[in-house]
Structure 1
Amino acid sequence: MQPATFATTRTARYYSLGPAGPDVRHIWFCLHGEGQPVAEQAAQLEKLDTPERLLILPEALSRYALPPDEDGQRRVGAAWFAAGDLLPDFTDLTTYLDALADEVLATCPPDTPVTVLGYGHGAAAACRWLAGNRLAYERLILYAAVFPPEIDRRATLVGLPERPVTVVATTADAYTPEAAGEGLVQDLLEAGLSAQLLIVDEGPLTLAALGAGGETVVEPAPDPNPTE
């Protein structure tokens, strides 16, 4: 039996917190963790949902059913990578996220600063995506990052552009030792990138933990024909 690949169009889903438009001052692309329903990710990001900030939450292309929640409600998870041959997944996620970014950025003021946040496997997906050097982002945040064993983490990090990286680790016992962050920070530094490690408590992320208070503000262009 000989495996083969065939490229076809996929319909992807994404969610947003906050409306796109001329009032947006910050754009965040937030990539969920392995099997993490986007609704649960959105709940963690509720403190980032402010009028001037647009949060885009892409859902990975490989969706699957999860056990119902305590109320019996249907839950759907998704994966960025499938076990085994990951090369097609790398191509698909880059094509998907590049196209989504183009669409979102076209609806917002030019040169609006972009932050990319990745959870768990979403951190690895973010690094693979950004290593393509197409998206002009301002900073990268890797939260409890986990790279699948098939991905060469150091080789991936070397491909990232020179942008600040914040590695966020949690005190929760649920995360693997790899997600503790120290090794990832060391790999980032060896790749020539600026990196810092933050330790936060489990639960919804605060603005301070993600450095949201230090975001660059883009002022709206002055009206060329002001009214008297």
Structure 2
Amino acid sequence: MPLHEIQVTKTARYYTIGEWSEKTRKVIFVLHGYGQLGEFFIQKFKELASENTLIAAPEALSRFYLNGFSGRVGATWMTKEARDTEILDYLNYLNKLLDTLLMDLNPFDVEIELLGFSQGCATAARWFEVHSEAFQRLILWSGYFSEGISEVVSPSHFVDKPLVYVYGNKDEILVQTQFDEFLKSLKQAVPTINIIEFEGGHQINTMVLKQIF
């Protein structure tokens, strides 16, 4: 049977920590992983916020119950179903969010950095791909791409912009992948990449955050 699609308006939400004023000089976008919510994910970055730095956490457009039909709720950036459409939808959403936040600021006076965690790595990398001129740096944390980084973003962007990859040496998710081969492919694709390993699992490590920022 034929497939039909229509475009509809959907309300997206995002969370911020930090001052938003003429003193703002840095905006850090942080993209959560599978099954997380922006409201709680952004708390992991609160120590980075200041009168000069704003943290912004967009939330994925699709939400679901984590267990059964009630209780805790999580969000996901995409699934395998209608994959290309979901990617286009969240890119349109993120682009509009970027324009909205920077509307009252001179973009040349503000440094914008982008961090993706777990599933949010692919989302962040795709956003960087289509809007690389807006971001000063891309940080990928505990993400994995089965076909290598070129699956989501062109390595040529990192000739003049930094790429950072962070992972825990006891990551219970990455251990299920071909992770050693993936790290080798990252180094081959982006020789200037900064790879940071920390003691821990599939999580945001506050000490490493302070080291990066």
Per the TM alignment, residue 132 of structure 1 is displaced from its structure 2 partner at its CA by 1.0
- Are residues 169 and 45 of structure 1, via their aligned partners in 2, closer, same or farther at CA, if it must alter by over 3 Å? same
Aligned to 2:206: 205
Residues 94 and 173 of structure 1: is their aligned pair in 2 closer, same or farther, counting only changes over 3 Å? closer
Letter in 2 for 1:206: M
The answer for unaligned runs of 5 or more in structure 1 is 213-228
Partner of 1:215: none
> How far apart, CA to CA, are the structure 2 residues paired with 1:4 and 1:152?
33
Name the structure 1 match of 2:100.
103
Q: Quick one: which amino acid aligns to residue 41 of structure 1?
A: F
Larger RCO (alpha carbons 8 Å, 6+ apart): 1
CA distance in 2, matches of 1:23, 1:67: 43
Change (3 A) 1:195 1:83: same
2:138 aligns to what SS in structure 1?
Answer: strand
Match of 2:194 in 1: 196
Please show how residues 74-223 of structure 1 align to structure 2 within 5 Å: 74-111=71-108, 112-133=110-131, 135-147=133-145, 153-158=149-154, 161-162=157-158, 163-177=161-175, 183-192=181-190, 194-202=192-200, 204-206=205-207, 211-212=212-213
Distance across 2 between alignment mates of 1:19 and 1:180: 41
Alignment of 1:39 with 2:39, yes or no, is yes
How many residue pairs get aligned? The number is 206
Supply the distance in 1 between the matched residues of 2:27 and 2:73 (Cα, whole angstroms). 25
More helix by share: 2
Q: Which runs of 5+ in 2 are unaligned?
A: none
Equivalent AA in structure 2 for residue 11 of structure 1: T
Matches within 5 A, 1:56-71: 56-67=56-67
Amino acid at match of 1:5: E
**Offset of 1:137 from its aligned partner?**
0.5
TM-score of the pair, normalised by structure 1? 0.78
In the alignment, residue 42 of structure 1 is paired with which amino acid? I
Q: Percent identity?
A: 26
Residues 24, 183 of structure 1: alpha-carbon distance in 2 compared, 3 angstrom cutoff: farther
Decide whether aligned partners of structure 1 residues 180 and 113 sit closer, same or farther in structure 2, where only a CA change above 3 A counts: farther
Give 2:150's aligned amino acid. Answer: R
Flag the structure with larger Rg. 1
* Residue identity in the other structure for 1:31: L
Tell me by how many angstroms 1:52 deviates. Answer: 1.6
Q: TM-score, normalised by structure 2?
A: 0.83
